[in-house]
Amino acid sequence: MENIKTLPNLSFEEQRVLGSLIEKSRTTPDYYPMTLNSLTAACNQKSSRNPVVNYDEETVTLTLNLLKIKGLISTVTGGSSRVIKYKHNLGIVYPLVPSALSIICLLLLRGPLTPGEINSNSGRLFEFESIQEILDQLIELSNEELPFVKQLAKKTGQKEARFIHLLGEQAETETIVETSEAPTFQANEALEHRIVKLEQEVEELKELVNLLMDK
């Protein structure tokens, strides 16, 4: 990373598209690189996204063009299909280990997160051994000569500090995400995590069906 002096300043649309490509490269590798249709569906998922958006294919196409100019995505053609497909280059442009790339992916798609929230939602991206491993990775990412993340100050009622990525503007819902969390019983938190995981699995099954229908 010696020759890399700055991080890209990504718009929120660029963050969502890039984060979706990173996510699907890990969770659905059989359908990666992605078609425009499947990538648009991934951006508009109702689970694992904050905030939920409703992009059309024109928006995604324009965003892909901007990311390509920045060298963060590339196109793939060939094989039995002539359909253009897309893949991310973030881990090439900025050499990042899979654990670090997974954390950045979650921050791009979900906004500010605590180490505990990263641990709850990282299962299909990377299997961390403990929350301490996540915290160590976050500290490393924030202490790099070119830092990728930053810790936010804890606010009243928060048990853990949240972290944000430094790849561009933050979503307008950042303040809501930061302040809306109130202390809850552990049982309620565990139930909420299970519900989120089930919703995510349902959405990904729907995407797989759509991908199969595209073929």
Instruction: Kindly list the structural domains of the chain, giving each domain's residue range(s) and its CATH number in brackets, ordered by start.
Output: 12-92 (1.10.10.10), 97-198 (1.10.10.10)
Q: What is the pLDDT of residues 9-32, one digit of tens each?
A: 999 999 999 999 999 999 999 999
Distance between alpha carbon 89 and the CA centroid of its chain, in Å? 14
The Cα–Cα gap between 112 and 86 comes to: 27
pLDDT of residue 77: 82
Determine if the peptide bond prior to 95 is cis (ω within 30°).
no
Looking up tokens 């950045």, which residue turns up? Answer: 104
At 95 the three-state DSSP class reads: coil
Q: Is 19 buried (19+), middle (13-18) or exposed (0-12) by CB count in 10 A?
A: buried
Average pLDDT over residues 187-213: 59
Q: What is the pLDDT of residues 98-144, one digit of tens each?
A: 999 999 999 999 999 999 999 999 989 999 999 999 999 999 999 98
Length of the chain equals: 215
